[in-house]
Chain A
């Protein structure tokens, strides 16, 4: 009896080792059959910059019957994952993130072009000429000041980018690492474009005032909100306006221009449900209702810049303050600029 038991035990043990594999294998077959027919079906997998887009995707599901699954990832993570996957992406649609990552993905041949009639209404610089990516909005950059800390330190409020190099702000400015944050990369690239030869001198000077470069895009906002630093170089949107209200912060729209960056939308090449993703892009940009719903969810109104004909959305800032940017340089100069920027971000204490 005892032997029988131990035989049984060993069989069970071996089986359970195998079962760990096979049991979970069952779940890998997709719930719905894959269909390549023109009528849409199945599931569309989305990587997005946040979790908030549920209502928009629900509307898409209601119109097409395609279920949407959404995963939140930063654009750098998406790009790394795409490159590691080597041509068989695990998602269908890329929704949001700095445009430089999209340009880079296009150059690597990781995106699928989409063309549709309504694209003609979008401003030329906000879409790829061959339809590899489109913009669903723009992110603008300004300064965020912590009023009580400014007062305590006796600082005057900076009004322009040039003001930030004043020595009174030494060690009181936070910005994000431009390699990680698309918004702060836009700051670097746009100011380099605007300042020409003096651009790098400017960043050298700014660097001596910067406490450190955050490794998350949300760092400047958080550090200024919690009163740890006086000045943050941060994206500005409705959520920032709310945070400003709650935490006694001041938002500054720099007088010498606001850098901005389009937020991309694209379809992954070789994606499982490429048709649904392509249709989603068309579905979104062809209807002002959908775009308005998106603007409401994001609490951003940048779509007005991209599609000027849209009604019912007004900009909360003066669009003439937006800096003149040649976006094509965002992708092509990225490596070169980041390589040159990297030594600036090093440990000042160690360098001395």
Chain B
């Protein structure tokens, strides 16, 4: 029983609401953008600028380029080594990732589940411990090489570094490739089959060419990651050293910040080149895959029917899966084994040591990881959206900036934070914020890439039509963009959580005695040579990460089901 007047009044009220709302919405939109760009400038550009400035500091405190000359003279060999390892690692890791991704995408039933589980476990990969497991398995007294095969091999060389890096990069690469494989245009596969093409031909002539840009991206990602990795070469490099390992040594052995900063600048050059190549390749990849195909059906291809190449891939990934299982089995067992005169016996003594570390450290790690993964995922989603879909001045600059933390060895990103945030008004050292920010921005490059890839699935037309129908910018974000990013949310969250629990390099210098983290204890145990304790901490971290990931998976699954049943 409403009178006409009341209805009109109501409409007027709503109209004024709308104006007010759109004003607010615009303001909020600008504010979000400002916060995003400001944070990138503050937490990425500023620390890196501090490192750059430090590299120019001469002995007398003035500006000097002398350090670059010194570095150029002295580090030629390590730079060559870095490139050597980088190239081999990139190729080997990409071949393995491609095989593993194809096996995962084409396997059925329990085989698929098994592959997925192994990949998920391998993704956790606590630092240093896998290298230690490698020595324990394949070293001069290795369980496999010596005890089983009676070989005495020297594992401390460049090939050890290449093998270990390649294996540890596979899970992330394979996850990326699987995402692309799922987007492949099923139609061309089906028509090729209808025209009588055999599995091998389809694989060689259709699937592989279609994912060539993605494969190249994989190569590049692995190459840059290998350049920045210092943990593997310091543990299994022996006399062989890379630039990243040398930078680490400069920091912990010589405490020479000027020199290590200058060396970092050298690492940044190939990385920036990489960034632009990467962008060009990603654009091509988006064109080749079918953006509108959202149904994630299995790839209609059976590898065993794909001839020699198919079998080769199956064999390679089997070797890879077996190695991963051995490696993690070895890490897990090491926590419970005690060697007395070469004879192993079961022990719980390391458990007691683990308890001394205290559950508060573990809980804090989980808490920080949760904060970083939620805040980081939201940040990455917003950042990817604003960078990808909105025409912002200086877009490629910001995009490039957000990629930089990926290229720097973690230790240096940490030192950069101390240089940048130890003086008023930006005094953040000794707080939890600096650790959280460091984790978030160290992981931003990859989380942004995950979100961008997912965003590519959303045709821009949908956003534009929503805008044309009168939706505000934030409404588009909420009702169009975020739902489309739902799958990215899970992988982004998983990636962020895993990395936060396992990244040691960058936070070694930022941790405060009051707020220690499990991964710091792990690093300390490795440093002190307590392998058993290190293995145990690593196992606990792995279990925690898997539990949280499982939980996150269940929650999103449930949300998805509810959404589906409602529509």
Residue B190 at the chain A interface, CB threshold 8 Å: no
Residue B35 at the chain A interface, CB threshold 8 Å: yes
Residue A16 at the chain B interface, CB threshold 8 Å: yes
User: Contact partner of B251 among A6, A21, A76, CB < 8 A?
Assistant: A76
A57 to B524, CA, bound (A): 20
Report yes or no: A212 in contact with B422, Cβ–Cβ below 8 A: no
Near B by CB (< 8 A), chain A positions 203-241 give 211-213, 215-219, 221-222, 225-229
Chain A residue with Cβ nearest B36: A17
Report yes or no: A84 in contact with B513, Cβ–Cβ below 8 A: no
A24 to B414, CA, bound (A): 19
Interface residue tally on A, bucketed by range: 35 or more
Report yes or no: B509 in contact with A80, Cβ–Cβ below 8 A: yes
- Chain A contacts of B289 at CB under 8 A? none
Report yes or no: B240 in contact with A24, Cβ–Cβ below 8 A: no
Report yes or no: B240 in contact with A85, Cβ–Cβ below 8 A: no
A46 to B516, CA, bound (A): 13
User: Contact partner of B432 among A27, A79, A247, CB < 8 A?
Assistant: A27
Contact with A along B268-283 (1 / 0, CB 8 A): 0000000000000000
Contact with A along B247-271 (1 / 0, CB 8 A): 0110111110100000000000000
CB distance from A180 to the nearest CB of B (A): 4
A70 to B141, CA, bound (A): 37
Report yes or no: A211 in contact with B251, Cβ–Cβ below 8 A: no
- Decide: A88 near B252, CB < 8 A? Known: A7-B25, A228-B139: no
Report yes or no: A350 in contact with B509, Cβ–Cβ below 8 A: no
Near A by CB (< 8 A), chain B positions 506-541 give 508-509, 511-514, 516, 524, 526-529, 531
- Chain A contacts of B340 at CB under 8 A? 246-247
Report yes or no: B436 in contact with A17, Cβ–Cβ below 8 A: no
Report yes or no: B257 in contact with A226, Cβ–Cβ below 8 A: no
CB distance from A42 to the nearest CB of B (A): 13
Residue A148 at the chain B interface, CB threshold 8 Å: yes
Contact with A along B126-148 (1 / 0, CB 8 A): 00000000011001110000000
Residue B433 at the chain A interface, CB threshold 8 Å: yes
Near A by CB (< 8 A), chain B positions 485-516 give 508-509, 511-514, 516
Q: Which of A120-128, A250-258, A340-348 contacts B (4 or more CB under 8 A)?
A: A340-348
User: Contact partner of B24 among A7, A80, A226, CB < 8 A?
Assistant: A7
Q: Which of B93-101, B317-325, B423-431 contacts A (4 or more CB under 8 A)?
A: B423-431
Residue B327 at the chain A interface, CB threshold 8 Å: no
Residue B392 at the chain A interface, CB threshold 8 Å: no
Contact with B along A77-105 (1 / 0, CB 8 A): 10111011110101100000000010010
- Chain A contacts of B157 at CB under 8 A? 349
Interface residue tally on B, bucketed by range: 35 or more
- Chain B contacts of A72 at CB under 8 A? 524
User: Contact partner of B474 among A6, A218, A221, A247, CB < 8 A?
Assistant: A6
Residue B478 at the chain A interface, CB threshold 8 Å: yes
Residue B28 at the chain A interface, CB threshold 8 Å: yes
- Chain A contacts of B28 at CB under 8 A? 10-11, 14
Chain A residue with Cβ nearest B524: A72
Report yes or no: A90 in contact with B341, Cβ–Cβ below 8 A: no
A345 to B422, CA, bound (A): 35
Near A by CB (< 8 A), chain B positions 411-463 give 415, 418-419, 422-423, 428-433, 436
Residue B156 at the chain A interface, CB threshold 8 Å: yes
User: Contact partner of B433 among A14, A21, A211, CB < 8 A?
Assistant: A21
- Chain A contacts of B139 at CB under 8 A? 226, 228
Residue B375 at the chain A interface, CB threshold 8 Å: yes
- Decide: A86 near B422, CB < 8 A? Known: A6-B475, A7-B24, A247-B340: yes
Residue B234 at the chain A interface, CB threshold 8 Å: yes
- Chain B contacts of A6 at CB under 8 A? 25, 472, 474-475, 478-479
- Chain B contacts of A148 at CB under 8 A? 341-342
- Decide: A88 near B529, CB < 8 A? Known: A76-B252, A212-B239: no
Residue A37 at the chain B interface, CB threshold 8 Å: no
User: Contact partner of B528 among A10, A218, A228, CB < 8 A?
Assistant: A218
User: Contact partner of A347 among B25, B29, B31, B239, CB < 8 A?
Assistant: B239
- Chain B contacts of A18 at CB under 8 A? 35
Report yes or no: A216 in contact with B527, Cβ–Cβ below 8 A: yes
Report yes or no: B257 in contact with A84, Cβ–Cβ below 8 A: yes
Report yes or no: A211 in contact with B238, Cβ–Cβ below 8 A: yes
Report yes or no: B35 in contact with A17, Cβ–Cβ below 8 A: yes
User: Contact partner of A69 among B238, B251, B514, CB < 8 A?
Assistant: B514
Report yes or no: A50 in contact with B418, Cβ–Cβ below 8 A: no
Report yes or no: A83 in contact with B255, Cβ–Cβ below 8 A: yes
- Chain A contacts of B156 at CB under 8 A? 211-212
Report yes or no: B21 in contact with A7, Cβ–Cβ below 8 A: yes
Residue B241 at the chain A interface, CB threshold 8 Å: yes
Report yes or no: A227 in contact with B141, Cβ–Cβ below 8 A: yes
CB distance from B160 to the nearest CB of A (A): 12
Residue B52 at the chain A interface, CB threshold 8 Å: no
The listed residue with most A CB atoms (<10 A of its CB), out of B35, B255, B430, is B255
A229 to B141, CA, bound (A): 9
- Chain A contacts of B422 at CB under 8 A? 84-86, 88, 90
A1 to B124, CA, bound (A): 43
Report yes or no: A227 in contact with B429, Cβ–Cβ below 8 A: no
Report yes or no: B342 in contact with A248, Cβ–Cβ below 8 A: yes
Residue A71 at the chain B interface, CB threshold 8 Å: yes
Report yes or no: A346 in contact with B419, Cβ–Cβ below 8 A: no
A6 to B528, CA, bound (A): 53
Residue B378 at the chain A interface, CB threshold 8 Å: yes
Report yes or no: A346 in contact with B77, Cβ–Cβ below 8 A: yes
The listed residue with most B CB atoms (<10 A of its CB), out of A10, A226, A338, is A10
Report yes or no: A177 in contact with B253, Cβ–Cβ below 8 A: yes
- Chain B contacts of A27 at CB under 8 A? 431-432
Residue B371 at the chain A interface, CB threshold 8 Å: yes
CB distance from A23 to the nearest CB of B (A): 9
- Chain A contacts of B251 at CB under 8 A? 76-77, 80
Report yes or no: B418 in contact with A84, Cβ–Cβ below 8 A: yes
User: Contact partner of A180 among B31, B253, B432, CB < 8 A?
Assistant: B253
Chain A residue with Cβ nearest B135: A228
Residue A193 at the chain B interface, CB threshold 8 Å: no
Residue B17 at the chain A interface, CB threshold 8 Å: yes
- Chain B contacts of A73 at CB under 8 A? 508
A71 to B523, CA, bound (A): 12
Residue B546 at the chain A interface, CB threshold 8 Å: no
A151 to B234, CA, bound (A): 30
CB distance from A5 to the nearest CB of B (A): 9
Report yes or no: B512 in contact with A90, Cβ–Cβ below 8 A: yes
A/B interface sample: 10 pairs, CB < 8 A: A6-B479, A14-B31, A28-B430, A76-B253, A83-B255, A84-B419, A90-B430, A179-B249, A248-B342, A350-B81
For the complex of A and B, list the 8 residue pairs with the smallest distance between their C-beta atoms, beginning with the closest.
Answer: A218-B529, A179-B253, A69-B513, A79-B255, A212-B238, A28-B431, A71-B513, A76-B252
B residues adjacent to A (C-beta < 8 A): 17-18, 21, 24-25, 28-29, 31-32, 35, 77, 81, 135-136, 139-141, 154, 156-157, 234-235, 238-241, 245, 248-249, 251-255, 257, 339-342, 371, 375, 378-379, 415, 418-419, 422-423, 428-433, 436, 472, 474-475, 478-479, 508-509, 511-514, 516, 524, 526-529, 531
